[in-house]
Amino acid sequence: MSDPFVIAGRAFHSRLIVGTGKYPSHQVMRAAHEASGADMVTVAVRRVDITRRTESLLDYIDTSTIFLLPNTAACYTADEAIRTARLGREAGMSNWVKLEVIGDERTLFPDTAALVEATRVLVKEGFVVLPYTNDDPVVCRKLEDAGAAAVMPLGAPIGSGLGIQNPNNIRIIREQSKVPVIVDAGVGTASDAAVAMELGADGVLMNTAIAGATDPVAMARAMKLAVEAGRLAYLAGRIPRKMYATASSPLEGVVGR
């Protein structure tokens, strides 16, 4: 079955997007990426350590098959995020950005007003903007109106592993959006990713759930299967929920009756 995942005209094989942070080692990250089947990974933009020569992350990512999505993590203002996006574009040679404008240190919830503003500016500059946002349909609509190429509502706070906290909002966001909806953050285990996809999300983005698992490579494979299963279940059309039982076996011909 052909079911391409297309963002801004670019088709991806996998609906699972994974991060590159917090792995026990670069080698484990590379193996997890392979197991995940992802063909897009997020990266952060940070100052080079001038005092010592460090191994490059890019030595462990096959950029001929994996698309790099630079983020603006840890930016707290639209200006910081815009500046970081411009640097990411130059470092990565693509005009895509996972836009984050954080509004609160403890929850890492976005500053949605600044996020919409930064989206508007970057879209005008020709960026393909994928904003990380909260699970608010109104904000998602504003982001789409500002030209976002996808909207990326959180399932739960970044790194929390709490799963999809507000499934109905994700469903509403999917129903109203013309651009892809990617659930970004909050996944803890495979069933969370499956739930996101069953709700109709077009993709799922995660980092900690894989990188922080006891066996990141096994979890990466679990997530790959969960995203595929959830997508298939969504397309297959689930049965309605009912309060009482409906027998699966015939009621006639029961022995001795």
Partner 1 sequence: MHVTLNGEPREVPGPLTLAALLAHLDIDARRVAVELNETVVKRARYEDTPVRPDDVIEIVNFVGGG
Enumerate residues 6+ apart whose C-beta is below 8 A from 50: none
Minimum distance from residue 21 beta carbon to partner 1 (Å): 4
How far is 52 from 30, CA to CA, in rounded Å?
23
Residues comprising the chain, all counted: 257
Query: Is residue 98 among the annotated active site residues?
Result: yes
Member of 24, 27, 62, 91 binding partner 1 (CB under 8 A) = 91
Q: Which residue has the tokens 């509004």?
A: 103
How many Cβ atoms are within 10 Å of 187's Cβ, its own excluded? 32
- Cβ nearer to partner 1, comparing 89 with 221: 89
Are 77 and 101 a contacting pair, CB within 8 Å?
A: yes
Q: Which of 15, 40, 70, 130 binds partner 1 (CB under 8 A)?
A: 70
The residues in 190-249 that bind partner 1, with binding defined as CB under 8 A, are 205-208
Does position 23 bind partner 1 by CB under 8 A?
yes
In sequence order, the 6+-apart residues with CB closer than 8 A to the CB of 175 are: 200
Nearer to partner 1, 88 or 110 (CB): 88
Residue 50 as a binder of partner 1 (CB under 8 A): the answer is yes
Could you tell me the CA-to-CA distances from 61 to 39, 43, 194, 224 in Å, in that order?
Answer: 10, 11, 26, 18
Do 46 and 74 meet the contact criterion of CB atoms below 8 Å apart? Answer: no
Q: Contacting partner 1 (CB under 8 A), which of 8, 28, 44, 123?
A: 44
Locate 90 and state its tokens: 């130059």
| Binder among 29, 156, 201, 222 for partner 1 (CB under 8 A) | 29
Contact between 11 and 67 (Cβ < 8 Å): no
Based on the shown chain and the rule CB under 8 A, indicate whether residue 124 belongs to the binding site for partner 1. Answer: no
182 binds partner 1 (CB under 8 A): no
Q: Which residue has the tokens 């999505």?
A: 69
**By the rule CB under 8 A, 255 interacts with partner 1:** no
Question: Least separation, in Å, of the C-beta of 254 and partner 1?
Answer: 56
Q: What SS3 state is found at 68?
A: strand
Among positions 45, 78, 118, 150, the unique one binding partner 1 when judged by CB under 8 A? 45
User: Pick from 8, 10, 12, 21: which binds partner 1 (CB under 8 A)?
Assistant: 21
Residue numbers annotated as active site: 98
- What residue ranges bind partner 1 (CB under 8 A)? 19-23, 29, 42-48, 50, 53, 56-58, 68, 70-71, 73, 83, 86-92, 158-159, 185, 205-208
